[in-house]
Amino acid sequence: MLETTVVVIGGGATGIGTFRDLCMRGVSTILLEQGGLAHGTSSRFHGLLHSGGRYAFGDIESARECIEENRIVRRIGRQCVEETEGFFVLTDEDDPAYVDKWVEACGKAGIETRELDVDEARRLEPNLSPRIRRVFRVPDSCVDGFRLVLHNAMSAKRYGGRMFTYHEVSAIHSHNGNISGVTAQNRLTGEQVEIACTCVINAAGSWSGRIAALAGLDVAVSPDRGTLLVFNHRFTSRVINRLHPSSDGDIFVPHGSITILGTTSAPTERPDDTTPTTEEVLRLLNLGEPLFPDVRNYRILRAFAGTRPLYTPGNAAGRQASRGFHVVDHAKQGLAGMVSVFGGKLTTYRLMAERVCDTVCAKLHVTTPCRTAEEPLVKAPEKSVLALAAKHFPVSGLKIMADRLGDELNDVLDAAKNIPENPLLCECEMVSLAEIEYVAQNAATHSLTDIRLRTRLGMGTCQGTFCSLRAVAALTEHNVSLDLPPADNMRRFLQERWGGLRPALWGVQAREIELGRAVYAGVLNLDGAAHEQIC
């Protein structure tokens, strides 16, 4: 049996932020995650680091939290953020009477807004509709959810934190009304792990209702499903928001070389309801046209969906449900040592973690203050290290690679020294053999999908058509094994990619999938079962 003081359940942004905070305060903590890190909501959103402008009119408290945390995350997570700024744009389909109310609300929330001349705005973003009427500049930014979670985990590890991925909590134990431990099952081996603890933090996002039920508790959390589109080029350099009350399909967010349009909102019974539909794709295109009239002519790279954990007391749902976050101490319900945190947004993950850790530390009589707003997640690499890395990695992708690797840069650099030429296996995301081989050898890596979440392998234009084969072949050649045989691992990886390709299978994307079929079902002579899987 393992022993610790606190068990954190959930390896998304809120859970990993809580994990980091506790470890930095010197509290012995174990984190349990049913999949890989960031496999849930934290990797299935539009990547917007909110300025708060979206919530200023109608939810000023959330707006204030967003702008304050926006500044903090840009400071501590510099390698995870691109400071693009944002535009709020009034189209000819939006109510002009909303503008003054919105500007006033932004001022009260502390969000800086500045109106631009429409011609100037279209000079900066020439693909915007010529029919837009007003434009305001706000401090929105873009954030890589995968990387943010990973860098928080790196920080927690430096302070002694222990993580168990692919471990699903099956029981929460108590004695005389006090938490005494948890049981988790390794989803890959079936092995059960018993952990004795005095406190459990439920940070499981859309799954938090199910976790609470294991302890005999009920929390008013409902998963809400959102679908998003990824386009294969960056047709805007800034986050573009519709200047109207928060609604579906009214945000365009640039990320690296691509652009994301989001999102929809629909209640669902399942926290893992993440399969997008063609109807949702077409609806999002309709909603996006007032901002970018040529959006239907842009190639859709894929569609994806995620669920957000909404606080729904009184049966509130969808856009009517609060976007704020809530910390619940279940001692009031008769179970001391059990605390849940739910709701909120990725932008406020650190604040959510601080609030829940303050609650738990007060119970544990820990007086160490929170330092997560001051200390960077990872240190910036020294110039001498970057100069050495330039000898082993493509110079054009050096910054991307260094930002992604964080604490692991030196280890990957050591690996690269032993690989002649260190070839790129994924040109779209600038991922080299050394990085893939290093990640594949990590104890938490079991599949190509795990490698994807760490490196972005297969997330570019080809969607794994070329790089998945290269990666499997290179790992096999270098005697680095994963849980499944190479061909099976590749099939599963391509099947996951296929789930996002299928809802938008027309035009260039249809031709792309035919190329994939030719490569894998033709040239590589996969059998009939494999052919069915990827086609």
Domains of the chain with CATH codes: 2-40+146-220+323-364 (3.50.50.60), 80-142+222-311 (3.30.9.10), 383-534 (no CATH)
Query: Is residue 321 very low, low, confident or very high in pLDDT (cuts 50, 70, 90)?
Result: low
Query: Is residue 530 very low, low, confident or very high in pLDDT (cuts 50, 70, 90)?
Result: very low
Q: Does pLDDT of 295 surpass 80?
A: yes
Query: Is residue 316 very low, low, confident or very high in pLDDT (cuts 50, 70, 90)?
Result: low
Q: Does pLDDT of 314 surpass 70?
A: no
Query: Is residue 535 very low, low, confident or very high in pLDDT (cuts 50, 70, 90)?
Result: very low
Least confident of 84-98, 180-194, 431-445, 453-467: 453-467
Say which residues have a Cβ less than 8 Å from residue 314's Cβ, sequence separation at least 6: none
Residues of the chain with pLDDT > 90, as a percent, come to 76
499-508, Cβ contacts within 8 angstroms, sequence gap of 24 or more = 499/275, 500/230, 500/276, 500/302, 500/303, 500/304, 500/463, 501/302, 501/463, 503/276, 503/277, 503/278, 503/280, 503/281, 503/303, 504/229, 504/278, 504/281, 504/300, 504/302, 504/303, 507/299, 508/299
| Full-model pTM | 0.93
Q: Residue 487 has what pLDDT?
A: 85
Q: Does pLDDT of 529 surpass 60?
A: no
Say which residues have a Cβ less than 8 Å from residue 365's Cβ, sequence separation at least 6: none
Cα–Cα distance measured from residue 267 to residue 319, given in angstroms and rounded to the nearest whole number: 10
Of the two residues 492 and 70, the one the predictor is more confident about is 70
Per-residue pLDDT of 430-479, as tens digits, reads 999 999 999 999 999 999 999 998 999 998 888 888 899 999 999 999 99
Query: Is residue 315 very low, low, confident or very high in pLDDT (cuts 50, 70, 90)?
Result: low
Mean pLDDT of the residues in the chain: 92
Of the two residues 525 and 440, the one the predictor is more confident about is 440
Tell me, what DSSP letter sits at residue 336? Answer: B
CA of 450: how far to CAs of 54, 307, 483, 492, 493, in Å? 33, 20, 11, 12, 10
Mean pLDDT of the 373-392 span = 94
Q: Residue 532 has what pLDDT?
A: 42
Q: Residue 396 has what pLDDT?
A: 83
Q: Residue 300 has what pLDDT?
A: 94
Taking phi first (over 0 means left), then psi (-120 to 50 degrees means alpha), and beta for anything else, what does residue 49 get? beta
Query: Is residue 531 very low, low, confident or very high in pLDDT (cuts 50, 70, 90)?
Result: very low
